[in-house]
Amino acid sequence: MYNLEKARRLAARSMKNLGYNASTRDEGQLLGKQGELRSIFIPISRYADPSRPEQAEGATSVGTCYHWSVIFANFLNGCVLHYDSTSSGGGVGEYTSAVLAFLEDQFPRPAGVWSARRADISPQQSNNDDCGVFTCATASLISLGLDADPALYDIPHFRKLIAISLLNKKFL
């Protein structure tokens, strides 16, 4: 039987041992040249456990949860935006700081510094189940050059689109 918690621990241990240093060995090949990148999306998975005070924010009454959000880094204007479908925004600073440190190290801006903030418009979910769909929908809309306008979020449609994409092994 597949043990999700064991897989998460193994992945975390691998990232700790390999992680950032391993991904930057051949920075020119793995990360591309600075002038070629316009933007990147960084999915964020935040763990919350109500029994641990430092993680209680974001945990549900039924126990632990994993919450997804997305950080969008725009190389053209040097802005980093965090889109989160919950109003709590817990943990935003920690992840945004890590992304900023990475960007400043790997992609210094000759014309200035990177700036970061929580996105002004970030459609909010009405349950505890749709954060992953909101994350995918936000990344999809922004990659198409659209705003994260709440009127564009048809979650049942996006859920079907994700399923079809997975079944066809390609993005639609």
Q: Is the pLDDT of residue 92 over 70?
A: no
Bridge partners (DSSP) of residue 167 are none
137: nearest Cα among 80, 85, 79, 102: 85
Question: Tokens 């600073």, residue?
Answer: 93
Q: Could you read off the pLDDT of 140-151 as tens digits, one per residue? A: 889 888 888 888
Contact 72, 81 (CB under 8 A): yes
Distance, in Å, from the CA atom of 45 to the CA atom of 8, rounded to the nearest integer, reads 11
Bridge-partner residues for 133, per DSSP?
Answer: none
CATH 3.40.395.10, applies to 37-168: yes
Strands (E), 57-145: 65-74, 79-83, 115-118
* pLDDT tens digits, one per residue of 25-83: 444 443 445 556 788 898 988 776 656 655 545 445 445 667 888 999 998 889 999 99
Q: Say what the pTM is.
A: 0.70
